[in-house]
Amino acid sequence: MLSRSALRTYSTATKNLTIGLIAGDGIGREVIPAGKQVLQALPSSYGLNFNFIDLEAGFELFKKTGTALPDETVEALQSKCDGALFGAVSSPTVKVAGYSSPIVALRKKMGLYANVRPVKSVDGIGRPVDMVIVRENTEDLYIKEERIFEKDGQKVAEAIKRITEGATTRIAKIAYEIALQRQQVRNLGGASLHNKPSVTVVHKSNVLSVSDGLFRETCKKVYDDNISKFGSIDYKEQIVDSMVYRMFREPEIFDVVVAPNLYGDILSDGAAALVGSLGVVPSANVGDNFAIGEPCHGSAPDIEGKGIANPIATIRSTALMLEFMGYPEPAAKIYSAVDANLSEDKIKTPDLGGNSSTQEVVSDIIKRL
């Protein structure tokens, strides 16, 4: 469990919390209710009362209305919600005129500049791993500034990769803060593969010397300029292709990994293979004043409607959302209940080799609360 309540300043006096629920597409509509059920089942001793607002976004909504992210959804998150859960969104593999990913747009509109993805093994499931991948969420190739033109009689497609000093400074700072916070948990007896905090900066500046060069240089500058605060952290760098190799060969060596948007996306999805399934890997989209929990899996149309989607990534994302809202104790309770479910190897969905339904897993975890 990662306790990061010190990273954001939230009022803990307000116990009535409103959570926006954006199911999105596919199995998002099956797993987001799991997060809601778990919040409702938290012991009353935590003194938290949850209200929920169902909100819309997604490709299916776009096909019906021509809008993937309604203004009403953004306005409700900004004015009515203390946090939110986002399920999944379908991503067409061919260009669809007028459509762009609502989660990417939501991150920009809400100022959620960090995507935080813990990847941790549980008692013999998958490879030994205990890392957090911190992905810059607002720029890189994901700004979606592309064009196509003809040159010498052939089509040429170009995409702009944007790296800025400001965005890199923000993401570097939160990565170092997370490393320090993880060490605080370890100092209090939290189980971990690591005995000292480290941050690995991922880049490809040997080829992209200007854009990735700026990312690498800025991350190092943030570290050097704040050495009195971050000096206990081992600063490391890794070229992205060798990072992939080492992550699969020796994942236990990595603590906190910080990367530009595209590399962070690829690394975090790949890291899920180390712990059994994308269905167990959570994430949080985090800004200075808001957090959205989001499971790392997609909309999974192949299993949509079958009632077998793994709810654990959503449940862990719910706990991660609570952490960034400033409620680490109930988050820890949720993590422990999930770990107990995984460790017993009895009630599991098919992606983990079991034959249980989504609701059976949710019910088992709620019992453990």
Domains of the chain (ranges, CATH numbers): 14-112+279-368 (3.40.718.10), 127-275 (3.40.718.10)
Spatial CA neighbour of 157 closest among 146, 168, 173, 166: 146
Residue 273 confidence (pLDDT): 86
- Give yes or no for a contact between 22 and 293, defined as CB atoms under 8 angstroms apart: no
As a whole number of angstroms, the distance between CA 303 and CA 307 comes to 8
Residue 87 confidence (pLDDT): 96
Tokens at residue 358, please?
Answer: 């989504």
Residue 190 confidence (pLDDT): 59
Burial 298-321 (b: 16+ CB within 10 A, else e): bbbeebbeeebbbbbbbbbbbbbb
Kindly report each contact of residues 70-74 with a partner whose C-beta sits within 8 Å and lies 24 or more positions away, as own/partner.
Answer: 73/20, 73/22, 73/106, 74/106, 74/109, 74/110
Which pTM does this prediction carry? 0.86
> How do residues 224-236 score in pLDDT, each as one tens digit?
999 999 999 999 9
Low-confidence ranges of the chain (pLDDT < 50): 1-12
Average pLDDT, the chain: 91
Residue 6 confidence (pLDDT): 45
As a whole number of angstroms, the distance between CA 246 and CA 369 comes to 37
> What proportions of the chain, in percent to the nearest 5, are helix, strand and coil?
45, 20, 35
Residue 14 confidence (pLDDT): 53
